[in-house]
Amino acid sequence: MKALKITGYGEIAKNVDIKEIENPKVGDNQVLIEVYAASINPIDYKIIEGAMKNIRSLSFPAPIGFDVAGKVVDKGEKVNDFNLGDEVFARVPTDSPGTFAEMIAVDQKAVCQKPAAMTFVEAASIPLVGLTTVQVFQKSDLKSGDKVLIHAGSGGVGSFAIQYAKAQGAYVYTTTSTKNVDWVKDLGADQVIDYKKEDYLNIIEDVDVVYDTLGGDYTKDAFKILKKGGKVISIAGDPDNETAKELGLNGLIRFLLKLKRFKIDQLAKEKNALYKFVMMHADGSQLNDIKDLIENKNIAAVVDKEFPFSEAVSALEYVQKGHAKGKVVLNMK
């Protein structure tokens, strides 16, 4: 079968290649999925660039891709919840990527039946951004009536998070560029701030939760608009100590992160606030909850563009530019 492989760290075009490899073998607790579509996420090009090698180093050639939608074509002896021919979607476990391929074996606990009304391309756009958002808002204990800031509302994560937060009854602020303001409003955001014309720090105050999708100064600035006792949950900042331990980072790296995170910890203490970094994990049961929201029409897929598998390099480069409205998906068929 054909599979995209990372051949080294660095520039995308020079370090990925489609190769012919053997079909995967199915473990007792796995299903073999024929891949119909696989979506691209920023983590994919960051892994190629080498940005994640301190957390997980690669042996080349290495598989790539975490989101998948397709059909079950084989299953292990201990798999009871799926049958051959089932249409499914999943975010595969972090330690076993490889959805940018014609087939992939996935632990059954990560897999969920595909929403019936969705195409494979639409379904493939959901798992990573959906599970990330669910787990972020679990950490923040999001409640109906909470005021939430979600940065980058037109991005893959932001476009899902707006819809999810509204489905939970939250009041949603978001930021985006001028050309996307009306489009993001249509996703359900209560107040959209055009960052090219306005400074959100002068507009928003006393929010309950900041969903930090950007990191850097945005993480520090979150505390300026956070109410006392609020929560900053990040997927782009530096890991808190607890998460660093969960990631298996050694003592030296955790110490360096603590030094780097000093200002954040100080700001959180001043506001009696929670700062938490979330590293999403695969979870088929949570994906099933998302499926219910989709089927109840609380959430719709947001696909910016689809590419054929043969143009996977161009698709990765397109996502790397950071201008996509929603998700970018590889159509494997």
CB 293 within 8 A of CB 117: no
CB 32 within 8 A of CB 83: no
Closest Cα partner for 155 from 177, 173, 182? 177
Kindly state the average pLDDT of the residues 15-39: 97
Q: What is the DSSP string of 108-151?
A: GGGEEEPPTTS-HHHHHTSHHHHHHHHHHHHHTT--TT-EEEES
Name residues whose C-beta falls within 8 Å of residue 47's C-beta, 6 or more positions apart in sequence: 6, 58, 64
CB 72 within 8 A of CB 82: yes
The CA-based angle 226-281-17, given to 5 degrees, is 115
Name residues whose C-beta falls within 8 Å of residue 95's C-beta, 6 or more positions apart in sequence: 56
Burial 95-109 (b: 16+ CB within 10 A, else e): ebbbbbbbbbbbbbe
Residue 147 has pLDDT above 90, yes or no: yes
| pLDDT band with cut points at 50, 70 and 90 for residue 158 | very high
| pLDDT band with cut points at 50, 70 and 90 for residue 146 | very high
| pLDDT band with cut points at 50, 70 and 90 for residue 317 | very high
Q: Specify the pLDDT at position 256.
A: 85
Kindly state the average pLDDT of the residues 280-300: 97
Q: Specify the pLDDT at position 114.
A: 98
Closest Cα partner for 15 from 37, 43, 45? 45
Kindly state the average pLDDT of the residues 300-312: 97
Please tell me the least confidently modeled range out of 55-64, 178-187, 281-290: 55-64
Q: Looking at domain 2-126+301-331, which CATH architecture does it have?
A: Alpha-Beta Complex (3.90)
Closest Cα partner for 242 from 117, 139, 103, 97? 139
Q: Specify the pLDDT at position 257.
A: 85
Helix (H) or strand (E) holding 104: strand 103-107
Average pLDDT, the chain: 95
CB 23 within 8 A of CB 318: no
Classify 192 as helix, strand or coil: strand
The yes or no reply on domain 129-277 and CATH 3.20.20.100 is no
Burial grade of 232 (CB within 10 A; 0-12, 13-18, 19 or more):
buried
Q: Where are the domains of the chain?
A: 2-126+301-331, 129-277
List Cα–Cα distances, 178 to 154, 303, 327, in angstroms: 11, 20, 19
Please state the φ and ψ torsions of residue 282, each to the nearest 5 degrees: -65, 140
Q: Specify the pLDDT at position 52.
A: 85
Where residue 16 falls (left for φ over 0; alpha for ψ -120 to 50; beta otherwise) is beta
| pLDDT band with cut points at 50, 70 and 90 for residue 4 | very high
List Cα–Cα distances, 49 to 8, 57, 60, in angstroms: 9, 12, 13
Single pTM value for the model: 0.95
Q: How confident is the model over 52-71, as pLDDT tens digits?
A: 887 788 999 999 999 999 99
**What's at 152, amino acid-wise?**
A
Name residues whose C-beta falls within 8 Å of residue 182's C-beta, 6 or more positions apart in sequence: none
